[in-house]
Structure 1
Amino acid sequence: MSRVDQAPARRLRSAAALGLVAALAGSGCSGTATSTVAHPAAVESSALPTVPPAQPPPKLTRAKIDEAVDKLDGVVRDAMSRTGVPGVAVGVVHDDEVLYLKGFGERKVGAKGAVDADTVFQLASVSKPVSSTVVAAAVGDKTVAWDDPVVKHSPGFALKDRWVTEHVTLADLFSHRSGLPDHAGDLLEDLGYDRSYILERLRYEPLAPFRASYAYTNFGLTEAAVAVARAAGTSWESLSSDKLYGPLGMDSTSSSFTDYEKAENKAVTHVKEGDTWKAEFVRNADAQTPAGGASSTVRDMAKWMRLQLGNGKFEGKQVVDGAALDETHLPHIVSEPPHAPAGRTGFYGLGWNVSYDDQGRLKLGHSGAFALGAATNVTMLPSEKLGIVVLTNGAPVGVPEAISTTFLDTAQTGGPTVDWLTFIGPLLQQAAAGDRSETDYTKPPAKAAPARADSAYTGTYANDFYGPMTVSARGDELVMQLGPKKQRFTLRHYDGDTFSYRTMGENEVGLSGVTFSVGSDGRAEKVRVENLDANGLGTFARE
């Protein structure tokens, strides 16, 4: 029996964090969740609960899937009750049939409007597998090939190494194996720079070994998508609509923030302050829209999952070439090496996290997360023609991954073998905390050296990557200005020529440091901004 529409009306910047939650979202039916813990520097596995081993699972049956669907209402409501996440929407498809479309909770806390199957959510990084589907359609039409060098379609594109620039392909950037560092360019987006500025600045980023290392990059993938659109003679936003959203009738799906904003039935983003969820921020991800800027509903996403599970066919029509789509499902790079003798290797395909369960079944998944207030997940077992998508309007606390994993676990075993919300939530917290400064700037040294006169620090400083910085005195305070919109950050004295400032935006990490290097004339010659210097690009020189 169909259960469609029966309902009443901090950043995760590290690749380890996003890869981790995506891997967990499919691990419930394998009994090997302990092997999916990501890089130890980001997550301490010794602090995690032990997951009991499980026997190899039996084959899924429709009856077992129906039982899991019947329990989904309770799973969702339990997760919402325990976390307070305001709104959730869930869709399930099996064997080209939509089994479940349902919304829960509020689109905005304190305002009228219940979440339903047609509520538009921001997808965050679930945009990536959607975008790889668009490119697969272009590959099938012979507009591009996955192995095309990016420079073939974007002649102005460049990375730091000339040889890599000439050889890096669309597939390299969609699988995060170009050598670009983790989340290259994201901090430029936080400062207000647009897509063209950020993509042009990728040439300054240091490179790891080409095709031998994995690092999750929103703007690397974005560059590849834009190159495909350029080859097609159009914009990415139009290409997505022409190749995918239009043919599938995904009428509420868009790759433009403006369309999300003007939707009447949309879920706004929420963050948690203390015990309260608040609609405090707006996240415009147009700069990286192929990687994180799409928006959709669970009704539309169910159509997309049917296409994925139908080898590119939708309602009898071959919308996307099957071979081009299959390429997105293959492992292209190791993303999660095993961290234990019995551990399981995680892979990344083209816009997908790729893994295999105890029966050798291909498992595809991806999570999306905006620290400013959204968390999403899609997980599919192609051999079973089974998929689930979960969209939420709350900052990432593990809800979409827990719902997806509990559903798959229940379909396999009759009930969850692990309390997945308790398991996944702490992993996300630990991963997010790993990006914070090692210095506690709220506690200056007991014998802190005094600051110099403001005139020693004020002035304009240049940086080829981040653009100019201006430091000025405003009353009793020093103020640092950065970015095209001249965002202002108050500098608080910490020790000697070191100050602190509070980071802002999607990638905020609390307080970070600003250290001036003063010359023999008593004036600062350089200034290093700690949070901007992860890749060695955060030093500004006085003009």
Structure 2
Amino acid sequence: MSRLDQAHALRLRSAAALGLVAALAGGGCTGPDASAVHRPAAQTSPLPTVPPAQPPPRLTRAKVDAAVDRLDGVVRDAMRRTGVPGVAVGVVHDDEVLYLKGFGARKAGAEGRVGPDTVFQLASVSKPVASTVVAAAVGEKTVAWDDPVVEHSPGFALKDPWVTRHVTLADLFSHRSGLPDHAGDLLEDLGYDRPYILGHLRYEPLDPFRASYAYTNFGLTEAAVAVARAAGTSWENLSADKLYRPLGMDSTSSSFTDYEKAANKAVTHVKQGDTWQPEFVRDANAQSPAGGASSTVRDMTKWLRLQLGNGKFEGRQVIDSDALDETHLPHIVSEPPHAPAGRTGFYGLGWNVSYDDQGRVKLGHSGAFAMGAATNVTLLPSENLGIVVLTNGEPVGVPEAIASTLLDTAQTGGPTVDWLKFIGPILQQAAQGDRSETDYTKPPARPAPARADSTYTGTYANDFYGPMTVSTQGDDLVMRLGPRKQRFTLRHYDGDTFSYPTTGENAVGLSGVTFGVGTNGRADKVRVENLDTTGLGTFTRE
């Protein structure tokens, strides 16, 4: 999710659309108003008596079973309408797994069907999984949620020294540190590793501490890594030791290597025209706690049972209940209401927290890789009901629609809206949110000519993004960035401005590169539009 202005609230890269979908879908269940005041038929007192508000009637097993019985059709309909290659779904109610199925293909055009034991990348559903791991460490007194991060990660720093000293694990897990939306993600796209990215968060400008919300993969990652450091191990090992092994989640890992070598895995797909293609490989190891876990629906239903069981699993208290409860509480407003009667969305510790029409707490999180994965987990703790949906296609609303339809049907006997039709356009709009305001595919009617290539070639420095080199290769002007010196061909647009195709998880099509030419006739600086979202995208000639 993004900053609080509505223009940014629909950015896919910032996952705001998924948070907005979660808040809106949370209101899908309708029913009697539990707060309605009823006057008795005969008044025996000058003042009316008001009976206490009654909790909504609990969802019965019969209602849940009826909704589950319709899930096959709901999933197949969503796949038919979108073409998403593979889907896996698990449902838990009253500590029982009621539904565990896979549909479709692990890889389009290849043999191998999705089943309950097919491994999917979780994307940002990794976040509530990560907060569960930290809750285990909190319960064992290894750390406390309110520990300053620097107590466990002495080299950590943000731009403001006071914030650096005071920002806590909970601040970073609830995205209220002041770091800007998705701080560090563009460094990951350029190929930088986790230590480099975390070490360069100190350059990012800060919004007001604990008074602003901005979704940050690497802020949360820093907190998780600090916890692992306090425990004397790596994040990948801590996750396995405190959660995956105790629950028997044998196919779950926080390491991309384990996903990559899994024989029964769903590969990522993006839609090209009318077909889905396995075009990209998304290695999210750098942000493993925030987006790099992988699992199966069979394993994830074990985690759902733990969550709904207040940290208990099969009679054992695996996670301290108080430490886990803290993750479910609202810690910051993440989605202010956009209308007087609109809903307010909150973020807990790795969870979106909202309230449905019955006043029940609803916990959820979506995950999205633009490079080809979409996931969702949704819980109604008061009903002991949870659903997890994993897919191997880019986000088009399928997992959220399936989850919302199940909850809606259990409450009302059928969906109150066509959730896929409702959610899909929100995500479509979000997918366009980060694109440049300039259409670089259409040059000006009378573009100014470029100068000689030698005006632009050379090496430029940037404290945040590292060095950039601009050189000629044949007839092309080429920009190289990142530790692996990724190559980007620059195409002339107008005067000293060129375009280049962005790549990676945060690709937004064509973006601009504008050279600033000094009095000596050589460029002395260059601004890369797509890298300048927080004012850090200007490189200076060495």
| TM-score tier (shorter) | over 0.9
- CA drift of 1:57 comes to 7.0
Aligned to 1:126: 125
Aligned to 1:448: 447
Aligned to 1:13: 13
SS at match of 2:388: strand
Aligned to 1:26: 26
Assess if the C-alpha contact under 8 Å between 1:173 and 1:220 holds in 2.
Answer: yes
- CA drift of 1:25 comes to 4.5
SS at match of 2:225: helix
| 1:458 aligned onto 2:438 | no
SS at match of 2:151: helix
Assess if the C-alpha contact under 8 Å between 2:23 and 2:343 holds in 1.
Answer: no
Aligned to 1:203: 202
SS at match of 2:376: strand
| 1:525 aligned onto 2:521 | no
After superposition, the Cα gap between the structure-2 partners of 1:467 and 1:155, relative to the gap in structure 1 and judged at 3 Å, is: same
- CA drift of 1:18 comes to 3.0
| 1:370 aligned onto 2:351 | no
Q: Deviations over 1:63-97 (max 9, x none)?
A: 11000000000000000000000000000000100
Distance in 2 between residues matched to 1:518 and 1:77, nearest whole Å: 58
Distance in 1 between residues matched to 2:21 and 2:108, nearest whole Å: 26
| 1:272 aligned onto 2:294 | no
| 1:216 aligned onto 2:215 | yes
RMSD (CA atoms): 1.3
Aligned to 1:501: 500
SS at match of 2:28: helix
- CA drift of 1:17 comes to 1.9
Distance in 2 between residues matched to 1:292 and 1:377, nearest whole Å: 13
- What letter is aligned with 2:373? A
Aligned to 1:412: 411
Aligned to 1:260: 259
* Equivalent pairs, count: 511
**Equivalence map 1:160-175=2 (5 Å):** 160-175=159-174
SS at match of 1:239: helix
Query: Who wins on radius of gyration, i.e. which is larger?
Result: 2
Distance in 2 between residues matched to 1:215 and 1:95, nearest whole Å: 35
Q: Deviations over 1:167-213 (max 9, x none)?
A: 00000000000000000000000000000000000000000000000
Distance in 1 between residues matched to 2:11 and 2:229, nearest whole Å: 31
- CA drift of 1:12 comes to 2.4
Aligned to 1:4: none
Distance in 2 between residues matched to 1:465 and 1:325, nearest whole Å: 36
Distance in 2 between residues matched to 1:354 and 1:211, nearest whole Å: 17
Q: So what's the TM-score if we normalise by structure 2?
A: 0.93
**Equivalence map 1:117-516=2 (5 Å):** 117-516=116-515
Assess if the C-alpha contact under 8 Å between 2:26 and 2:355 holds in 1.
Answer: no
- CA drift of 1:24 comes to 3.9
SS at match of 1:27: coil
Assess if the C-alpha contact under 8 Å between 1:15 and 1:182 holds in 2.
Answer: no
- What letter is aligned with 2:13? R
Distance in 2 between residues matched to 1:432 and 1:184, nearest whole Å: 19
- CA drift of 1:15 comes to 4.3
- CA drift of 1:108 comes to 0.3
Distance in 2 between residues matched to 1:393 and 1:57, nearest whole Å: 36
Aligned to 1:40: none
Distance in 1 between residues matched to 2:474 and 2:95, nearest whole Å: 65
After superposition, the Cα gap between the structure-2 partners of 1:57 and 1:502, relative to the gap in structure 1 and judged at 3 Å, is: farther
Distance in 1 between residues matched to 2:26 and 2:218, nearest whole Å: 26
Mean alpha-carbon deviation: is it higher for 189-198 or for 427-436?
427-436
Distance in 1 between residues matched to 2:135 and 2:162, nearest whole Å: 26
Distance in 2 between residues matched to 1:131 and 1:22, nearest whole Å: 20
Assess if the C-alpha contact under 8 Å between 1:367 and 1:377 holds in 2.
Answer: yes
- What letter is aligned with 1:475? G
SS at match of 1:372: coil
Assess if the C-alpha contact under 8 Å between 1:147 and 1:169 holds in 2.
Answer: yes
Identity %: 87
- What letter is aligned with 2:27? S
Distance in 2 between residues matched to 1:27 and 1:248, nearest whole Å: 32
- What letter is aligned with 1:501? Y
- CA drift of 1:20 comes to 1.6
- What letter is aligned with 1:529? V
- What letter is aligned with 2:479? M
- What letter is aligned with 1:422? K
- CA drift of 1:434 comes to 1.0
Distance in 2 between residues matched to 1:23 and 1:197, nearest whole Å: 34
SS at match of 1:288: helix
SS at match of 1:29: coil
Assess if the C-alpha contact under 8 Å between 1:64 and 1:412 holds in 2.
Answer: yes
SS at match of 1:176: coil
- CA drift of 1:477 comes to 1.1
Distance in 1 between residues matched to 2:101 and 2:183, nearest whole Å: 36
- CA drift of 1:16 comes to 2.0
Assess if the C-alpha contact under 8 Å between 2:12 and 2:433 holds in 1.
Answer: no
- CA drift of 1:420 comes to 0.4
After superposition, the Cα gap between the structure-2 partners of 1:196 and 1:30, relative to the gap in structure 1 and judged at 3 Å, is: farther
- What letter is aligned with 1:391? L
Distance in 1 between residues matched to 2:491 and 2:263, nearest whole Å: 42
Distance in 1 between residues matched to 2:12 and 2:484, nearest whole Å: 24
- What letter is aligned with 2:179? L
Distance in 1 between residues matched to 2:482 and 2:150, nearest whole Å: 28
- CA drift of 1:431 comes to 1.2
Distance in 1 between residues matched to 2:413 and 2:451, nearest whole Å: 67
Assess if the C-alpha contact under 8 Å between 1:254 and 1:296 holds in 2.
Answer: yes
SS at match of 1:28: coil
Distance in 2 between residues matched to 1:292 and 1:452, nearest whole Å: 43
Aligned to 1:43: none
Distance in 2 between residues matched to 1:222 and 1:18, nearest whole Å: 20
Assess if the C-alpha contact under 8 Å between 2:11 and 2:430 holds in 1.
Answer: no
Distance in 1 between residues matched to 2:218 and 2:77, nearest whole Å: 36
Q: Deviations over 1:432-452 (max 9, x none)?
A: 211100000011111110000
Assess if the C-alpha contact under 8 Å between 1:269 and 1:282 holds in 2.
Answer: yes
Distance in 2 between residues matched to 1:332 and 1:30, nearest whole Å: 26
Aligned to 1:534: 533
SS at match of 2:490: strand
- What letter is aligned with 2:142? T
Distance in 2 between residues matched to 1:532 and 1:29, nearest whole Å: 41
- CA drift of 1:59 comes to 3.4
Assess if the C-alpha contact under 8 Å between 1:17 and 1:432 holds in 2.
Answer: no
Distance in 1 between residues matched to 2:277 and 2:167, nearest whole Å: 42
After superposition, the Cα gap between the structure-2 partners of 1:374 and 1:24, relative to the gap in structure 1 and judged at 3 Å, is: farther
Distance in 1 between residues matched to 2:18 and 2:123, nearest whole Å: 11
